[in-house]
Structure 1
Amino acid sequence: MSLELPTNLPDLLPFIAACVSVLYGLFAMFAPRLFLRAHGLETSEARRTGLAEVRGTIAGFPLGLGVALLTLGSYQTLIQMALGAAWLFVAFGRLVSILSDQGATLLNWTLFLFNLALAFLCLAPALGLVSA
């Protein structure tokens, strides 16, 4: 396991997505209240399980997959697909919320596009849509 810096565009795109995923995960892991506040949410002082959900689910998946993509070079294409699919389904969930929960806010649309961009960064090289 070692970190290999990208030397061409197909390697650079998922590398950027992995770095952003790790930063996103670290932010949610170590500053969950600030993370929630940035998304217009808050936890109840009486019930702190929301913080565990942020640290575990919201932080854990992008952090774990991002670190895996950065360090497990021999499985890179599979991990690119996994991270790309994860961000694609995050975007899909956000789109469902925008369309069915009256969630068409500027923040939701911005985060939807951000999620799609991260999915594209991983999936385009893995699917052969970007060449060196």
Structure 2
Amino acid sequence: MEFYIPTETGEFLAFCAAIATVLFGLFALFAPGTALKLAGLQVRDGTSEGYAFARSAGGFYAGIAIVALLMAQSWIYMAIGGGFALAAFGRILSLMSDGSFTLKNLAALAAQAVLAALPLGYAFGFL
């Protein structure tokens, strides 16, 4: 099986979103403390459940994105885009109801929106 690098613009943009997702996932998988700190979270002293959550979430992101890169199927790109779209929706809810309207959250919302739009745009034929 050859590794496929897309030449079509829409598929290449979805491919780039999958690469960013892999990098994000691997970062959370192998450096959970730093990932949590960048997210503004901290683990309580004496417990390690927070690290386990960050590692498992990072593993999920990396796993689904690696499958998307290897299989190059629009359905898998749709799964990545749908996941990021719901994550962006959750962030919007938090911005409106939790009082978390900060520049950091707006930047994270923009990143999630882009990582949702690129794969979904390709999967639905807009890109």
What is the alpha-carbon root mean square deviation over aligned residues? 1.0
Partner of 1:95: 92
- Relative to the length of structure 1, the TM-score reads 0.92
Quote how far apart the aligned CAs of 1:2 are: 4.0
Percent identity over the alignment is 37
| Mapped partners of 1:10, 1:96: distance in 2 | 29
Rounded Cα–Cα distance in structure 1 between residues aligned with 2:97 and 2:41: 19
Q: Unaligned regions of 5+ residues in structure 2, if any?
A: none
Give the structure-2-normalised TM-score.
0.95
Once the two structures are superposed, residues 96-128 of structure 1 have per-residue CA deviations (whole angstroms, 9 ceiling, x without a partner) of: 111111010100011001000000110001111
1:39 maps onto 2:39 in alignment: yes
Report the CA distance between 1:3 and its aligned residue.
2.2
Matched residue count: 127
Cα distance in 2 between the residues matched to 1:2 and 1:104: 45
> What CA deviation, in whole Å up to 9, does each residue of 1:68-102 have, x standing for no partner?
100013xx111011000001011111111111110
**Partner of residue 69, structure 1:** 68
> Secondary structure in 2 aligned to 1:35?
helix
Q: Which AA in structure 1 matches 2:97?
A: S
Whether the 8 Å contact between 1:14 and 1:125 is mirrored in structure 2 is yes
User: Any runs of at least 4 consecutive aligned residues in structure 1 with deviations exceeding 4 A, and if so which?
Assistant: none
Matched residue of 2:13: which SS?
helix
Which ranges in structure 1 are unaligned for 5 or more consecutive residues?
Answer: none
Post-superposition shift, 1:45? Answer: 2.5
Q: Distance in 2 between matches of 1:32 and 1:91?
A: 21
Deviations 1:47-66 (A, max 9, x none): 11010000012x02211111
